[in-house]
A and B are shown apart, each in its own frame.
Chain A
Amino acid sequence: MVVALLLACAPALAAAQGQSTTTSVTALVPGVPITFLNLQDLNFAVVTRGVAKTVLRNTAAAGKVRVSGESNAFAQIRFTLPTQLPNIQALPGINMPISFAANSAGWNRDTDDPGGGTAFNPAVGVNNARFGPPPRPYIYVYLGGTVTPSAVQAAGVYQGSIILTITYL
């Protein structure tokens, strides 16, 4: 099973280093731990006062995480999402609303294909997501969203956290 982990890591490692790699295993233990690879932050780019900005889950600006695990195993995906982004450069209480539509999230098995993935409501999550078969035991998770700055939104950095929870089923 660790071999699966190695295989899961190898492409990214190779990509990161621009070369192929070989590995060996000195111990085999059961079970493959879950590994996260943050491929793309949810990026709202330019945000203008009074203009809501939406990032769709199947666009390049969407958040994208590759989750590696046990081949063909089923998993549960849950998000914990903010509703307000506080201005971390201002006194408490200065916020910007952020929202997530019922189709703001998606997942795809095996390959990175945000356009072909299965949409789901990030507020609800998804059951029965499934890791891909060997040699790509992956679940790709995508997330879009909408920020709604007011016409008098104060300048500054608005920041929040998204929690992604994966559980083997």
Chain B
Amino acid sequence: MTLSGRWLPALLVALPCPVLAQGVIVAPHAVFIDHATRSGSITLYNPGEQPVEVTVSFGFGYPTTDSAGAVSVEIADSAPTGEPGATAWLQAFPRHVTVGQQQRQTIRLLATPPAGLADGEYWARVIVGAKGGKVPVIGVPDSSGITVGLNLEVRTVISVVYRKGALNTGVVLSPISAVYAHDTVGVRVPLKRTGTAAYLGTARASVVSTAGDLKGQDERAVAVYYSLDPRIDVPVGALAPGTYKVRVAVSTDRTDLPARTPLAAPTVRDSVEFVVK
């Protein structure tokens, strides 16, 4: 059973949701396509009481980090030269559709890769835009008869991963660092991918005292396409003077993705001490 197929019963049971809902629900939030089938699908559901116009398009982008460790994904219309983009040879059917109130719609994703495509992983993003079929006009005209209306279009961006051949992945974890300020320990986790496919996993950080008491912990999903140096802010409250240890573990378990879609790789770990004076 496909992921979309597995979703449908849940959607039918779960919804309708709020009558004020805007846009459509897009599931799953990551699509994996293999070279054997060359196709995938996403399911849209309109939980609202008005038809929603949906547009499906493709872009290219992957997570990167800035100097402060903030992660972002900048979406371009196409893949830059040299990048393993699938944007140019992915198609969605249909690309434009009106989804009626409390109706669902399947969008097929078909890949037509060039002949002789090398083994590897190819990336794209699906952008699902949705706007209500009825444009609300708000505001009260004064005696001059001027009215201002703004309508909202919402977009959901999900990743598409196209895989060909036997792939592997892993990460190298460079020495981590930790800074304590404002009741939070900011932990930098410098990761560099190895292998032939993106590393999808979870980074977990914990702060313990020298006595082994847990002071705080947090985690975040990581997608390392090339390199990533995210900052994990671990709330610890006010720490008494002393020495503390930060432990970080990065593994390929992801509860938000279908089993086996994150390629397995050994867990990597590091730790560092810091002193509160």
Contacts of A46 in B (CB 8 A): 139-142
Contacts of A149 in B (CB 8 A): 146
Q: Chain A residues near B21 (CB, 8 Å)?
A: 12, 35-38
Do residues B10 and A29 form an inter-chain contact, with CB atoms below 8 A? yes
Which residues of the other chain, B, contact A31 by a CB distance below 8 angstroms? Answer: 27-30, 256-258
Asked whether any CB of chain B lies closer than 8 Å to the CB of A166, the reply is: yes
Chain A 155-169 per-residue mask, 1 if CB under 8 angstroms from chain B, else 0: 111111111111111
Q: How large is the interface on A (under 10, 10 to 19, 20 to 34, 35 or more residues)?
A: 35 or more
Bound form: Cα–Cα A164–B155 in Å? 6
> Please, what's the 1-or-0 string for B139-171, where 1 marks a CB less than 8 Å from any CB in chain A?
111101111111111111110000000000000
A15, A65, A147, A168: which has the most chain B beta carbons within 10 Å? A168
A27-B9, A31-B28, A70-B256 given; A156·B145 CB < 8 A? yes
Q: Is the CB of A39 within 8 A of B20?
A: yes
Q: Are B26 and A34 touching (Cβ within 8 A)? A: yes
**Do B29 and A29 touch (CB < 8 A)?**
no
Among A15, A30, A46, the one with the most B-chain Cβ atoms within 10 Å of its Cβ is A30
> Chain A contacts of B142 at CB under 8 A?
46-48
Q: Do B70 and A128 touch (CB < 8 A)? A: yes
Query: Which of A33, A73, A165 counts the most B-chain CB atoms under 10 A from its CB?
Result: A33
Complex contacts, A73 vs chain B, CB 8 Å: 220-221, 256
Residue A19 at the B interface, CB < 8 A? no
Contact status A2-B10, CB under 8 Å: yes
B138 / chain A contacts, CB cutoff of 8 Å: 41-44
Bound Cα distance from A167 to B219, whole angstroms: 18
Interface residues of B in 112-157 (CB under 8 A from A): 127, 129, 131, 135-142, 144-157
Q: In this assembly, does A60 line the interface, its C-beta being within 8 Å of a C-beta of chain B? A: no
- The B-contacting residues of A in range 73-109, CB under 8 angstroms, are 73-74, 76, 85, 96
Measured between beta carbons, the chain A residues less than 8 angstroms from B39 are: none
- Which of B9, B29, B47, B220 lies at the interface centre, i.e. has the most chain A CB atoms within 10 A of its CB? B29
A158 to B135, CA, bound (A): 12
CB distance from A143 to the nearest CB of B (A): 9
> What chain A residues lie within 8 Å of B72 (beta carbons)?
76, 127, 169
Q: In the complex, are the beta carbons of A65 and B22 less than 8 A apart?
A: yes
Q: How far is the CA of A38 from the CA of B132 in the complex (A)?
A: 11
A29-B3, A128-B71, A165-B155 known; A42+B150 contact, CB < 8 A: yes
Over the window 20-31 of chain A, the binary record of Cβ atoms lying under 8 Å from chain B Cβ atoms (1 yes, 0 no) is: 000111111111
Q: Which residues does chain B contribute within 8 Å of A123, judged by CB atoms? A: none
Interface centre among A34, A39, A43 (most CB of B within 10 A): A34
A46-58 near B? 1/0 per residue, CB < 8 Å: 1111000000000
Chain A nearest CB from B101 CB (Å) reads: 13
Q: Which of B11-19, B88-96, B242-250 contacts A (4 or more CB under 8 A)?
A: B11-19
For residue B24, give the distance in angstroms from its CB to the closest CB of chain A.
Answer: 9
For the complex, give the distance between the alpha carbons of A29 and B257 in Å. Answer: 8
B208 to chain A, nearest CB (A): 21
A27 and B22 contact, Cβ closer than 8 Å, known pairs A33-B29, A48-B142, A76-B72: no
- Whether the Cβ atoms of A164 and B17 lie closer than 8 Å is no
Cβ-based interface call for A153 (8 A):
yes
Measured in the bound complex, the distance between the Cα atoms of B100 and A146 in whole Å is 34
Contact A85 B17 (CB under 8 A): no
Given A73-B256, A127-B72: 15 more A-B contacts, CB < 8 Å: A5-B10, A13-B16, A30-B254, A33-B27, A38-B20, A38-B152, A39-B20, A41-B150, A43-B138, A46-B141, A73-B220, A85-B150, A163-B152, A167-B157, A168-B221
Of the A-B pairs whose beta carbons lie under 8 Å apart in the complex, a sample of 18, sorted by A's number, is A16-B18, A27-B6, A31-B27, A33-B26, A33-B28, A36-B21, A41-B150, A46-B140, A48-B144, A74-B221, A76-B73, A128-B71, A155-B144, A156-B145, A157-B148, A158-B148, A159-B149, A164-B153
